[in-house]
Structure 1
Amino acid sequence: MSRKLVRPRQGRMFAGVCAGLAQRFGLSANLVRLLFLLSLLLPGTQVIIYLVLWILMPNEDRAY
């Protein structure tokens, strides 16, 4: 069974984007959060991508 890209109800810190990405790819949620925070030190569109994922990723209870 393939894992869907959803924002889980449990384990959220803010919007659930990092927890959802971690769950989808089999990583630790804290690792994904740390990588996101470290990426903020670099120039780029990280915050915009986070906001887009927040809008596009469904909640776990409303997934597909």
Structure 2
Amino acid sequence: MENKRLCKSRNDRIIAGVCGGIAEYFNWDPTIVRLVFIFCGVGILAYIIAAVVMPDSPYL
């Protein structure tokens, strides 16, 4: 059984890797996650909070 953790992506990052990390965790397309952040009201504040709270991925 795989032990998954929600972490910022090191491979698929544009600003801080939050959307890339969410996409890796749920096995989704990162572009879809970015569009949801932009258009569905999740917003900049949630992204900033996630960038501060989420740890960096231990994998390169």
Once the two structures are TM-superposed, the CA of residue 28 in structure 1 deviates from its matched residue by 0.6
Unpaired runs of 5+ residues, structure 2, are none
2:24 aligned partner: 23
Fraction of identical pairs, as percent: 29
How high is the TM-score relative to the length of structure 2?
0.81
Larger Rg over CA atoms: 1
CA RMSD for the aligned pairs?
A: 1.8
2:55 aligned partner: 58
Residue 48 (structure 2) pairs with residue 47 (structure 1): no
2:36 aligned partner: 35
Unpaired runs of 5+ residues, structure 1, are none
